[in-house]
């Protein structure tokens, strides 16, 4: 009888062959150590061999004049290799920076602010957006989707990491139980902290 029920359930309710996983984290954007000036939402969805990452950051503050900054990242990994990345940054609703990275099948095609950059053939296996989701254990460098080049990651001990870009700007990431707890970010336009919401 049980055997027939199992067979019946297989034919009537076929299992979804895709392996799906989804998680979302929320952070407050903090300035001057105590003032919340924005929010960051980061999500990761894995479907079969592809992992889709998205992050959206909105900052509203006043430095001499009112500033509204939006960072939007869309990133896709396929079989643990970067397939594409789109970054759009606006300041007061005007485009500030746009970078697109696309795997063509033989190399990466990179366009930053309508300027084509040198392509490279080596697979990208770790990028900046992943820092929101996992502690970069044994990771020495990561691809910057915004800059179109590689940043250095330095382990400082006690689950703390320094990410240094080609211009020497530093971000510091603090992890607890493998999850990002807070970070100090040099966003170029503005420096701020992000703090995970409980």
Q: What is the pLDDT of residues 24-48, one digit of tens each?
A: 999 999 988 789 999 999 999 999 9
Residue 18's pLDDT band, with cuts at 50, 70 and 90, is low
Q: In this predicted structure, what is the pLDDT of residue 6?
A: 33
Q: Of 53-62, 67-76, 81-90, 185-194, where does mean pLDDT reach its minimum?
A: 185-194
pLDDT (tens digit per residue) in 123-168: 999 999 999 999 999 999 999 999 999 999 999 999 999 999 988 8
Q: How far apart are CA 120 and CA 44, in angstroms?
A: 26
- Contact predicate 58/72, CB 8 Å: no
Task: Answer yes or no: pTM beyond 0.75.
Answer: yes
Give the end-to-end CA distance of the chain in Å, rounded to a whole number: 48
Mean pLDDT across 44-67: 92
């Amino acid at each position: 009888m049980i055997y027939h029920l199992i067979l019946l359930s297989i034919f009537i309710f076929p299992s979804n062959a895709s392996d799906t996983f989804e998680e979302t984290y929320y952070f407050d954007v903090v300035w001057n150590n105590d003032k919340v000036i924005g929010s960051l939402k980061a999500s990761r969805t894995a479907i079969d061999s592809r992992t889709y990452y998205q992050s959206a950051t909105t900052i509203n503050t006043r430095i001499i004049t009112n500033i509204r900054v939006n960072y939007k990242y869309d990133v896709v990994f396929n079989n643990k290799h970067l397939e594409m990345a789109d970054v759009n940054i606006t300041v007061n609703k005007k485009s500030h920076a746009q970078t697109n990275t696309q795997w063509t099948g033989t190399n990466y095609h990179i366009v930053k602010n309508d300027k084509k950059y040198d392509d490279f053939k080596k697979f990208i296996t770790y990028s900046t957006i992943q820092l929101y989701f996992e502690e970069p254990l044994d990771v020495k460098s990561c691809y910057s989707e915004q800059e179109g080049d590689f940043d250095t990651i330095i382990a400082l001990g006690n689950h703390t990491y320094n990410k240094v870009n080609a211009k020497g700007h530093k971000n510091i990431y603090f992890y607890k139980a493998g999850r990002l707890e807070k970070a100090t970010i040099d966003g170029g336009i503005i420096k701020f902290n992000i703090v995970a919401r409980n």
